[in-house]
């Protein structure tokens, strides 16, 4: 990048980080992105769910999410050991990636989509894969991997609401009430997927209750319990296989499984992975192939489209959602340069 291009890329990043975009309220940030593409004479619009769409050469689709989790981190640039560091919510997850994708799309002529709702329900990416008529050749999804890393795999997600009811009775009675039924079911599920400590987390099903409510019903005739649950699914399983196992441990009660995202694990030998490795080496880095224990929009794209996918972006993913979220601007610059080179190489091949 030239100095002027680097300055513009940083300016976009800072504007995006300064513009709050908590999930469900991405509109102002989406307008900033739209203005950026308009300044570069690119076709661009905001679709009916709030995604920013800038179609062009579908040899590569560059995409990242606009939304962030809540959290007020004063936006500022500080110097640390000679490095300029941008502080602010979303600087790492994932506005560094979002700005890098937008900059590279303008510089190379690749297609771009900024999606909404990734932190909640992936509403934006789910809309794209069902509404878009043609698949791109390659998807590069923006998530923090560090400028010298690419993410090939994410676990899937199974989320649901467990509900159980029992007759009311005196607490001295030995029979289980609904609260005990819920706890027992979850303990059986947790034990089913227990692993030795030496098994990598990426290869485990991990089960987490995220909310629990229980007690006497308003009419006093029953005891009720409700539990929100999430299970992370490694590529060894499909989401339906994990659901069947969890349902098999039910003994009373029902689960409404409302959130299902399949796991993804891409080969390191795809054209897009090779392009990243070669480019990172040329930039003086030692390429790292990553597997992440969470879930991203890459899962959605990989599940619905028969195309090669990878996730890439600046920043330390340990800072995702953290109160000290910050991004070194020199790393951001490197990631933009890598992304532009990779995209140009893939477009030439398409």
Q: How far apart are CA 82 and CA 102, in angstroms?
A: 27
50/48 Cα distance (integer angstroms): 6
Opening angle at CA 127, ends 123 and 131, nearest 5: 175
Cis geometry, peptide bond prior to residue 94 (ω within 30 degrees of 0): yes
Known active-site residue 11: no
Inter-CA distances, 199 with 158, 193, 204, 243, Å: 21, 12, 7, 21
Q: Which of 26, 67, 119, 308 is the catalytic position?
A: 67
Of these residues, 8, 47, 93, 118, which one is catalytic?
118
According to DSSP, the residues that pair with 289 across neighbouring strands are 150
Q: Based on the residue annotation, tell me whether 240 is a catalytic residue of this protein.
A: no
Alpha carbon distance 239, 226 (integer Å): 22
Alpha carbon distance 278, 267 (integer Å): 16
- Least Cα distance to 149 among 282, 327, 288 occurs for 288
Which positions are catalytic?
A: 67, 118
């Amino acid at each position: 990048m030239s100095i002027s291009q680097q300055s513009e890329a940083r300016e976009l990043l800072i504007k995006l980080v300064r513009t709050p975009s908590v999930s469900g309220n991405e509109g102002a940030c989406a307008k900033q992105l739209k203005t950026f593409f308009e300044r570069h004479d690119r076709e661009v619009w905001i679709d009916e769910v709030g995604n920013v769409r800038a179609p062009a050469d579908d040899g590569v689709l560059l995409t990242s999410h606009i939304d962030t989790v809540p959290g007020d981190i004063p936006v500022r640039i500080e110097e640390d050991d000679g490095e300029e560091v941008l502080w602010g919510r979303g600087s790492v997850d994932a506005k560094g990636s979002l700005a890098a994708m937008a900059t590279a799309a303008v510089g190379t002529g690749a297609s771009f989509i900024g999606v909404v709702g990734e932190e909640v329900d992936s509403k934006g990416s789910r809309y794209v894969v069902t509404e878009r008529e043609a698949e791109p050749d390659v998807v590069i999804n923006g998530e923090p991997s560090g400028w010298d890393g690419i993410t090939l795999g994410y676990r899937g997600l199974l989320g649901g609401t467990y509900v159980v009811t029992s007759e009311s009775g005196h607490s001295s009675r030995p029979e289980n009430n609904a609260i005990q039924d819920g706890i027992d079911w979850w303990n059986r599920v947790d034990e089913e997927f227990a692993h030795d400590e030496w098994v990598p987390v990426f290869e485990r099903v991990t089960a987490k209750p995220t909310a629990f409510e229980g007690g006497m019903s308003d009419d006093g005739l029953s005891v009720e319990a409700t539990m929100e649950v999430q299970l992370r699914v490694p590529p060894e399983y499909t989401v339906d296989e994990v659901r069947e196992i969890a349902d098999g441990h039910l003994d009373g009660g029902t689960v409404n499984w409302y959130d299902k995202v399949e796991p993804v694990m891409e080969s390191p030998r795809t054209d897009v992975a090779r392009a990243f490795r070669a480019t990172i080496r040329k930039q003086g880095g030692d390429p790292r192939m990553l597997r992440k224990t969470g879930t991203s929009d890459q899962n959605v794209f990989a599940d619905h489209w028969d195309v090669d996918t990878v996730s890439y972006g600046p920043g330390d993913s340990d800072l995702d959602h953290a109160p000290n979220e910050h991004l070194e601007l020199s790393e951001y610059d490197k990631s933009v340069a890598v992304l532009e080179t990779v995209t140009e190489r893939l477009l030439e091949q398409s």
